[in-house]
Amino acid sequence: MAAAQVQRMSRLMVKTLRDDPADAETLSHKLLVRAGYVRRNAAGIWTWLPLGKKVLDNISNIVREEMDAIGAQEVLLPALLPKEAYEASGRWDEYGDLLFRLKDRKGADYLLGPTHEEIFTQTVKDQCTSYKDLPVMLYQIQTKYRDEARPRSGVLRGREFQMKDSYSFDTTDEGLAESYALHREAYRKIFARLGLDYRIVSAVSGAMGGSASEEFLAPAAAGEDTFVDCPSCEYAANTEAVTFAATAVDAAGTGPVEELDTPDTPTIESLAALLGVPASATLKNLLVKVDGEIVAVGVPGDREVDLGKLGEHLAPAVVELVTAEDFADRPDLVRGYVGPQGLDEVRYIADPRVAPGTAWVTGANKADTHARNVVCGRDFEVDDHLDVVVVEEGDPCPACGAGLKLDRAIEIGHIFQLGRKYADTFQLDVLGQQGKPVRVTMGSYGIGISRAVAALAEQTADGQGLCWPAEVAPADVHVVAAGKALQTEVALDVAARLAEAGLRVLVDDRAGVSPGVKFTDAELLGVPKILVVGRRAGEGVVELKERRTGEREELALEEAVSRLRG
């Protein structure tokens, strides 16, 4: 085994902090800054300092090894991209303010790439002309850019971030399914090697298009994604992908529509209190604009509309709430008293819980007036049933009916079967076996490299600091010289011997730094094994500590070295 490098803290650019940064909210943000792994340059923009860069590179190398193992080929595309490709796909407009846009000195438009489907498609179109050139899987580890409105949580949500994105190109849907399965298994191996606790959940494709879509989520309190997990079966999904099956109801016994005088009841709460009915018996109608067109969305009164979920269903259309000005332009829409019955020229979307035959108390489209016994399918029609409510703890599992559990997580990976969306846009065809053009089908697969650093910190840190898994850590062993010249001399000698055996060694040989500070820093930096060369060094005795468990043992120096060498 080749000798590894010894990193001496007396020469290493690392500055640890005793206190949390004032602007830090999440555990990973606090610890990565305090341990000197990253430094903030501006909102959402970070410098990776030497130790942080080593962790980032270790994750990248694991990803690279597993991608190579499935036959994917690494490339590197530019981050600075011409407008035309994204204009052709429609994403120049769809991305909106998320895109970093710029002009060159000649006035031509460019962007900093948020993702590279368009450019990979063009690359394959240029390089592959026959079915014999396919299938092919390409990947890159690249810096991506998104102009987040509120960059936060340290490197978890930045405006510049590291990502592995890969793309598969096949001539058949069966081939796409095989490429997707290869990536899925590679991701399982990657996250297992990283030491991440993760869940594979069903997801929606949204603006990405395509059919099958799954997310890899790392459960963590700092997570911005909410997912559901069924305790009774294997079902797990992003909340935006949870569905509810509509069940028709027999409305034969429901009386005719009855209008009710309900002054000063513009909210569900005030209406339910006045009539003495549960909120679940009322029908809430939210008005939104979809690409500028007013659309009504109906859900039971005790539920909220999930605008993110609605947006995913209607992507790439832009969804926004109506304003007071919109009501002024439409006197037929009475604010606080809208009902689906009698709505003219308004598309009506309803949650599946608003099923045919269900009867509701809802707005009567008159000020201070509601209506009772308004039946779906009899008094109003639903143009589209879409599952758009905010999922709640205890909602029925779509697979087995048991109550679902909610949890927070960090999205660390996402895989899509894109299909032919981008191939159609760029006319990506190859000559088929029969001598005729065949349209290529694609998959898209992403892993957040810098995000994985934060996710690992969130999941593995303890009250003393970071606690990296072995394959990810910036070193295998942290040797601490807790004393004066003798301890430092022994520590450097031990470090050299361990490095000769192929172990990556960080040695704290700083002069003028107290043992207490060195011990605190060793806990904070999070290297898996800590070897303390202390007061008994002259006797040939050292202390070996497991960072994760806290277990420590005094050993003869030679035995400690032998044990660490394995």
Determine what percent of the chain falls in helix, strand and coil, rounding each to the nearest 5.
30, 30, 40
Q: What amino acid is encoded at 364 in this protein?
A: A
Q: What is the mean pLDDT of the chain?
A: 94
Each residue's pLDDT tens digit, 357-410: 999 999 999 999 999 999 999 999 999 999 999 999 999 999 999 999 999 999
So what's the pLDDT on residue 504?
Answer: 97
Q: Per this entry, what is the length of the chain? A: 566
Tokens representing 207 are 């603006």
CA distance 29 to 48: 13
Left (φ > 0), alpha (ψ -120 to 50) or beta: where does 483 sit? left
Q: How far is CA 148 from CA 156, 158, 159, in A?
A: 12, 7, 6
Interval 194-210 mean pLDDT: 79
3-class secondary structure, 138: strand
So what's the pLDDT on residue 123?
Answer: 98
Examine the pLDDT at 2 and tell me if it is beyond 80: no
DSSP state letters, 359-385: EEEEEEEETTEEEEEEEBTTTB--SEE
Residues 6+ apart with CB under 8 A from 433: 131
CB 159 within 8 A of CB 149: no
State if pTM tops 0.85. yes
Interval 487-493 mean pLDDT: 96
CB 200 within 8 A of CB 214: yes
Examine the pLDDT at 341 and tell me if it is beyond 70: yes
User: Among 53-57, 158-162, 305-309, whose mean pLDDT is lowest?
Assistant: 305-309
